[in-house]
A and B are shown apart, each in its own frame.
Chain A
Amino acid sequence: MAEDPALDMALLVDEQHAAVYRYAYRLTGAVCDAEDLTQQAFLAAQRKLGQLRDPRRARGWLFAILRNCYLKTRRKRVPLSATKVDLDMDGIPEKLPDELAIDPERLQEALDELPDEFKMVILMFYFESCSYREIADKLSLPPGTVMSRLSRAKGHLRARLSHAMSDEASSQSPPAPIQSLKLRRG
């Protein structure tokens, strides 16, 4: 990074704010929360700016800070045990009706239903293009756990999005209740 921290932050905000905000939005599912979280992340980044040795890794570094900020804000809430996600794999269709027909808002609704443990893994996969091993390293989890969570989270998204798209296609009938995923909270 350049020698002037203010200049660094201005550049960091200018270049990375959109990517960080998108990630924050997918984590929180709300515009206001996403902006608050983005702000927290950049403030934390400003305090830790000296830790960023390689500016080319700024995005990944900011994403890691963002994830930590998000988890801190969620700590006070009652966590949902990962073992309590029951997924009916038979209910997941093999095909999506149309790969381009994924509605970003439907996607967000499906993401919002995932517990944080699952959401974190799937966002790292899609947003940060992390491999199983990289996710496992970053979250200090066994690779098998990461694979399992990623598989189940993808299954949930696939089921939700497939049902949503099927519902849209058959506009004559009201949306059918989704039976394939049972999330038990508490």
Chain B
Amino acid sequence: MKVETMNDEQFDRAVGRAMEQVPIPLGLAERLLATVNSANIVPSADGPLAEGNKLAEGSGLAGENRLAGERGRVVRRRWLVSASMAAVAALAASVVVYPFLAVPSPMGYDTLINFVGDFHDREPAAEGKPLTEVSPPAAYPFPSSVVTNGLTRWRPVRKLLGRTGVAYDLTGARGRRATLYVVDLTSGSRPIADNCVPTSPHNNGTFTVGRTMGAWTDGTLLYVLVVEGDEGVYRSFLRRQNGLA
């Protein structure tokens, strides 16, 4: 039964990763922007070519027999070029203007977990320094609530929730792997909603595809534990104590 459960987890994890492996076509964002911008010009659910046709008809080209198709194509092409330029300009403007206009709203617990999960997936594998040989920065201490088997390594991380911090790579019983991220909540541009993160590790993490995650705070530090496996494996990385919910 235990083996079957482990196989299910492996399967879910592998399928979840394979699901994400879809190449994104070049220029997709620009084409989408052109489409939605064109829909702004003439509110309609039609695509850009249909809108181009309407422009051609409106200009009287539709009535000319011989040259109508060719001119229509030219108008559509010009329209597409204009729409693309407008889209690029809009995108550039949004990139420049957005940081000054938008005040990021505080993120809740689920969003926080999703952000760290995405970061964990994207983060390139890096060999950390053994915790027993090299001490991590004192600002990001290893918490007493997490169990380590002595093989823990640590490495610096950047741009996690807009903050720098430390990641501890843990190995648990039967080779189970986990990563513990630690960042300082007083820095960073993306605020976290008040009281949405518990002040001690919760006994039940958030199970997604093949992994379980949980977050807690300790003073100004935010800890996020990412465990490969189900909630039972997650709990195996936490020291039993009164503080556990």
Q: Report A's interface with B, CB cutoff 8 A.
A: 2, 5-7, 9-11, 13-14, 17-18, 21-22, 25-26, 31, 35, 38-39, 42-44, 46-47, 55-56, 94-96, 99-104, 107, 123, 125-127, 129, 154, 157-158, 161
The 7 closest A-B pairs by CB, nearest first: A99-B10, A99-B14, A102-B18, A104-B21, A22-B22, A10-B94, A129-B208
Residues of A within 8 A of B16 (CB): 126
Q: Is the CB of A96 within 8 A of B7?
A: yes
Please give me the residue from chain A that is nearest to B106 by CB atom.
Answer: A56
Bound complex: CA A94 to CA B22 (Å): 27
Roughly how many angstroms separate A16 CA and B3 CA in the complex, as a whole number? Answer: 37
Number of B interface residues, CB 8 Å?
A: 43
B102 touches A39 (CB 8 A): no
* B19 in contact (CB, < 8 A): yes
Instruction: Check A103 against B18 for contact (C-beta < 8 Å).
Output: yes
CB-nearest residue of chain A to B14: A99
Query: A-contacting residues of B (Cβ < 8 Å)?
Result: 3-4, 7, 10-22, 24-25, 28-29, 31-33, 35-37, 39-40, 45, 47, 90-91, 94, 97-98, 101-102, 105, 107-108, 111, 208-209
Question: Which single residue of chain B is at the shortest CB-CB distance from A100?
Answer: B14
Q: Is the CB of B45 within 8 A of A43?
A: yes
A154-B11 in contact given A26-B22, A35-B25, A43-B35 (Cβ < 8 Å): yes
Chain A nearest CB from B234 CB (Å) reads 16
User: Interface residues of A: mostly helix, strand, loop or mixed?
Assistant: helix
Q: How far is the CA of A22 from the CA of B28 in the complex (A)?
A: 12
| Contact (Cβ within 8 A) A2 B102 | yes
Task: Name B28's contact: one of A21, A44, A129, A157 (CB within 8 Å).
Answer: A21
A7 touches B94 (CB 8 A): yes
Chain B residues within 8 Å of A129, by CB: 208-209
Contacts of B15 in A (CB 8 A): 102, 107, 126, 157, 161
Q: With contacts A17-B32, A99-B13, A99-B14 known, is A31 near B25, CB below 8 A?
A: yes
CA distance A107 to B12 in the complex (A): 12
Nearest residue, chain A, Cβ from B8: A154
Tell me how far the C-beta of B72 lies from the nearest C-beta in chain A, rounded to whole angstroms: 21
**Contact yes or no, B7 A94, CB < 8 A:** yes
Which residues from B are CB-within-8-Å of A125?
209
Please measure, in the bound complex, the distance between the C-alpha atom of A9 and the C-alpha atom of B18, giving whole angstroms.
29
